[in-house]
Structure 1
């Protein structure tokens, strides 16, 4: 073999090793989170905002009366990562229904949601507190006739801010003990699990996201069918009340998560411009739609995530799960996995569309071996081929360099 062909072969070997680095690195980083989570046990807890109320078809589990969507947020997250899901979220659930109190739903009584959490659970997500904070009271009692009132159910009251304001704020501020006890109980039952608390999207916009003309739109219309769809029948005084209650609940959930070693995912700011407020484009929640006036009957899913909102929440939760399980090569929820190896300081996070993943420490070692071994093999081949270009059995007549 001549020198030119030998050099070409050696260069090809080295180039092959470099190509192995280019191909193997990104592929490994994109797959590692899903690989370590495949088959891991995931339990989803919560109320109607994560159960998918208003987004049929509904699942039979934990009970048909829970109105849990077959395509709930947890189902989407589980599908993304190949997790083994137990979703016990249920419409109408309170903190007590998560921790200890069975919940009565039409046609059944479902056990406390925490019963589904076991020692081998790798991931727990929970979104709860809205019913305890009185949001159902706001939605059921605060619809008004006009932007300055009065309330439909209480014409003597100009707004919910006057009638319920201090009561609702006190209810939110009193959630801390229940949230703390719930998160502590989750950790006791699943000490190796990652726990993620998902906040609520904005129900009403802040001042900054409110259109100049305000948010109010009538749920009654002319009083004759067809009735308006996705209205926002809350007064100019109640719109900031609802926004402030959402902010208080978001802060209470964050503080409890921080105190109890859980991850909190706030979606409030990113949904502020996507409420059912009149004039909003791309809302994440359904507005108020009445199906009849005699008796007044709300359409399913009022002031709850619509299809776009469910996709938004699922994407945020998927991202949080990816960040909670950076690539380590460790199978979560199994014995001996509570202390994963420290990551290599030379490995940087790899940003991808969707959940954030990181190159596994073991993956970086494999890649290093590929390039190092490939390069050495190429250089070795180059040296061997260089020697073989000389005639065998002879010494070179060229003088030694001085």
Structure 2
């Protein structure tokens, strides 16, 4: 018969080994959940859906999702376990919250998004600048900048929080918007350089707000402005449409803008 101390030591050893075994089993059980989070969801507005890049997916309808858009190009090269292409032309932060998050879950490992431009009135501002002259353009740009600097942040915060809640295992990459114009440039007609500079300045304000809110959410941020430098409207190698027909492709990246301006930055961050 073993002495009492020997029995107690043996009992303690068995208990410790059992505890370690349970902990190891817990780690092993948790690992597949993270490993399986390999789906990709592409959210946001027309800059992510690929308006302006052509080759639209017929089933996407007015969302105009393109096979030349950076999300589609990335998934073609990387073969994620699933691909939820939810980005849609004209989308605002409210649209993302109401109609783009249903495909997110614990298996979503990567999310990309461009959002905020439509909240700030991108389309209406550009329409004013093109049709109503410099004074009206500067006024519209000022209104858009004021919105971006005073009202956009909580809207972005709500979107980013919802993404994190619905896709808790995802790495989220937030991308911004390029300068539209090279100033001075090779454009002899159209809006004034004063208006072009103001529009670029509004993009800087918008991108600054997006960068701060993305950082606050703990998300990765990709600034595409440097990638588009030398490829703006009025450059000799533009990756952005000027005024076009159909009108909805105006002021959006071409296929080259998606593959050369957006895809490399996203790929590096993903």
Name the TM tier (shorter chain).
Answer: 0.7 to 0.9
1:318 aligned onto 2:270: no
Post-superposition offset of 1:191: 1.0
After superposition, give the CA deviation of every residue in 1:8-60 in whole Å (9 maximum; x if it has no partner): xxxxxxxxxxxxxxxxxxxxxxxxxxxx9999211100111111112332214
1:95 aligned onto 2:93: yes
> Compared with structure 1, are the counterparts of its residues 57 and 261 closer, same or farther at alpha carbon in structure 2 (3 Å cutoff)?
same
Out of 270, 277, 302, the residue aligned to residue 227 of structure 2 is 270
Out of 177, 188, 191, the residue aligned to residue 200 of structure 1 is 177
Residue 26 (structure 2) aligns with: none
Higher relative helix content: 2
**How many Å separate the matches in 1 of 2:157 and 2:248?**
32
**How many Å separate the matches in 2 of 1:307 and 1:299?**
17
> Compared with structure 1, are the counterparts of its residues 38 and 306 closer, same or farther at alpha carbon in structure 2 (3 Å cutoff)?
farther
1:217 aligned onto 2:188: yes
Residue 114 (structure 1) aligns with: 101
Residue 120 (structure 2) aligns with: 133
Out of 47, 51, 54, the residue aligned to residue 52 of structure 2 is 54
> Compared with structure 1, are the counterparts of its residues 301 and 177 closer, same or farther at alpha carbon in structure 2 (3 Å cutoff)?
same
1:167 aligned onto 2:143: yes
| 8 A Cα contact 2:41 2:86, kept in partner | yes
Out of 232, 237, 250, the residue aligned to residue 207 of structure 2 is 250
Question: Aligned with 1:287: secondary structure?
Answer: coil
Residue 61 (structure 2) aligns with: 64
**How many Å separate the matches in 2 of 1:90 and 1:259?**
25
> Compared with structure 1, are the counterparts of its residues 215 and 245 closer, same or farther at alpha carbon in structure 2 (3 Å cutoff)?
farther
Question: Aligned with 1:75: secondary structure?
Answer: helix
**How many Å separate the matches in 2 of 1:37 and 1:119?**
11
| 8 A Cα contact 1:285 1:305, kept in partner | yes
**How many Å separate the matches in 2 of 1:281 and 1:138?**
25
> Compared with structure 1, are the counterparts of its residues 177 and 199 closer, same or farther at alpha carbon in structure 2 (3 Å cutoff)?
same
Question: Aligned with 2:84: secondary structure?
Answer: strand
Residue 284 (structure 1) aligns with: 239
After superposition, give the CA deviation of every residue in 1:123-146 in whole Å (9 maximum; x if it has no partner): 111111111111111221211xxx
Structure 2: give runs of 5+ residues left out of the alignment.
1-33
CA RMSD of aligned residues (A): 2.1
**How many Å separate the matches in 2 of 1:265 and 1:199?**
7
| 8 A Cα contact 2:51 2:89, kept in partner | yes
- The number of equivalent residue pairs is 234
**How many Å separate the matches in 2 of 1:215 and 1:182?**
39
Question: Aligned with 1:124: secondary structure?
Answer: strand
Equivalent runs, 1:3-402 vs 2, <5 Å:
40-61=38-59, 63-83=60-80, 84-100=82-98, 112-143=99-130, 152=131, 154=132, 158-161=135-138, 163-173=139-149, 174-205=151-182, 210-211=183-184, 214=185, 216-218=187-189, 233-277=190-234, 280-289=235-244, 291=245, 298-312=246-260, 313-321=262-270
Question: Aligned with 1:142: secondary structure?
Answer: helix
Post-superposition offset of 1:270: 2.8
Give the TM-score taking structure 2 as reference length: 0.80
Post-superposition offset of 1:246: 0.6
Larger Rg: 1
Question: Aligned with 1:125: secondary structure?
Answer: strand
| 8 A Cα contact 1:39 1:82, kept in partner | no
| 8 A Cα contact 1:204 1:243, kept in partner | yes
| 8 A Cα contact 1:44 1:74, kept in partner | yes
Residue 103 (structure 1) aligns with: none
> Compared with structure 1, are the counterparts of its residues 37 and 244 closer, same or farther at alpha carbon in structure 2 (3 Å cutoff)?
farther
Give the TM-score taking structure 1 as reference length: 0.55
After superposition, give the CA deviation of every residue in 1:48-85 in whole Å (9 maximum; x if it has no partner): 11111123322144x31211113321111112211121
| 8 A Cα contact 2:37 2:169, kept in partner | no
> Compared with structure 1, are the counterparts of its residues 239 and 300 closer, same or farther at alpha carbon in structure 2 (3 Å cutoff)?
same
Question: Aligned with 1:70: secondary structure?
Answer: coil
